[in-house]
Amino acid sequence: MTSLDRSDPEGEIAKTVARVSNWGRWGEDDVRGTMNFLTDSKRVSAAGLVQTGRSYSLSLPFDMDGPQNGWRRRTNPVHTMLDTGTDAVAGVQGFPHGIGGADDVIAMPLQCSTQWDGLGHIFDHGRAWNGRPADSVVTSLGDGVTGIETVADVVCGRGVLLDVGRAVGTDGELPDGFAITEEHLERTIAAQGPSAAVGRGDIVVVRTGQLTRARRAVAAGDGWGGYAGGSAPGLSFTTADWLHRTEIAAIATDTWGFEVRPNEFDDAFQPLHQVAIPHLGLFLGEMWDLDGLASACAEDGRYDFLLTAAPLRVTGAVGAPVNPIALR
């Protein structure tokens, strides 16, 4: 594992950026970052991975029982009915010839459950993806350059599950604070076999098992605990070079923050985000439910699949909810 100076996150980030930055790789006007690796031919190839027709939703529920605890004003979704069957039976809806209906509304932060981080979500020293000044990208009107809508039609391709929880952990789970290194990722790929090989344009999903553990706690009546923002297993800062070298289109995990928490420096906050989003142009998915898919993959030994994961097309959003579907 690459050694890190725990006392100097800013210096380590700068050194890493010098090695892995993709600024200018797809031209100065690029707004899609690593999604450029996910080409039409890659999608055609991925379609051939569907063998059984079985599909798996990789989304957590969007409801009031979710994991959010109010950090930075993030709340769970509030779902309110506008019209109901009660109204219809009471005859108060005002529709003719006996027709009635139900209607509803939802209010929620866009990153309160299963979601993508867009390229306008994180900056490095006031710079957004491709070197643009952050204040020329995201304003009170939203992300006018790299809003999540710019990738609404491209996030479909070969998905690869890396079940690090099963390959490296105990009883299928990694403990909170466990830093997943490149060696752990490669060990998982080797253990899972050829279908787990990772390459250009792939959408990688990493299962740590933390969500499995959190779900047990909820079922036992203990609540979500620190799942939304507390300690967690996750990718090590040192995987930035692997993320760059593999030329993947995107990566998602079953945790709230993608990278290991606490972070690997004495005083830092999400340093891998600071490299991956504004410099690699890499899309990060968080709070994905990978348990059902992981069980199916372990059963038949196939770890790649067709994955569709288009974000909700919210114009100017810096992140968006998603219901990813894995087709095997």
Instruction: Dump pLDDT digits (tens) for 287-320.
Output: 999 999 999 999 999 999 999 999 999 999 999 9
Q: What is the mean pLDDT of residues 262-279?
A: 98
Mean pLDDT (the chain, rounded): 97
The reported pLDDT for the residue numbered 3 is 84
Report the predicted TM-score, pTM, of the whole model to 2 decimal places. Answer: 0.96
pLDDT over threshold 70, residue 2: no
pLDDT over threshold 70, residue 19: yes
> Domain 9-70+111-327 belongs to what topology?
Glucose Oxidase; domain 1 (3.50.30)
User: Tens digit of pLDDT for each residue in 42-76?
Assistant: 999 999 999 999 999 999 999 999 999 988 889 99
The reported pLDDT for the residue numbered 244 is 98
The reported pLDDT for the residue numbered 146 is 98
pLDDT over threshold 60, residue 1: no
Q: What is the mean pLDDT of residues 180-190?
A: 98
User: Tens digit of pLDDT for each residue in 201-237?
Assistant: 999 999 999 999 999 999 999 999 999 999 999 999 9
The reported pLDDT for the residue numbered 226 is 95
| High-pLDDT (> 70) share of the chain, % | 99
Contacts of residue 146, defined as CB under 8 A and 6 or more positions apart, other chains included, come to: 31, 33, 118, 119, 120, 128, 129, 137
Which part of the chain is CATH 3.50.30.50? 9-70+111-327
Q: Tell me the C-alpha distance between 160 and 206, whole Å.
A: 8
For residue 198, count CB atoms less than 10 angstroms from its CB and return exposed for 0-12, middle for 13-18, buried for 19 or more.
buried
The reported pLDDT for the residue numbered 114 is 98
The reported pLDDT for the residue numbered 211 is 98
**Cα Rg, the chain, nearest whole Å:** 21
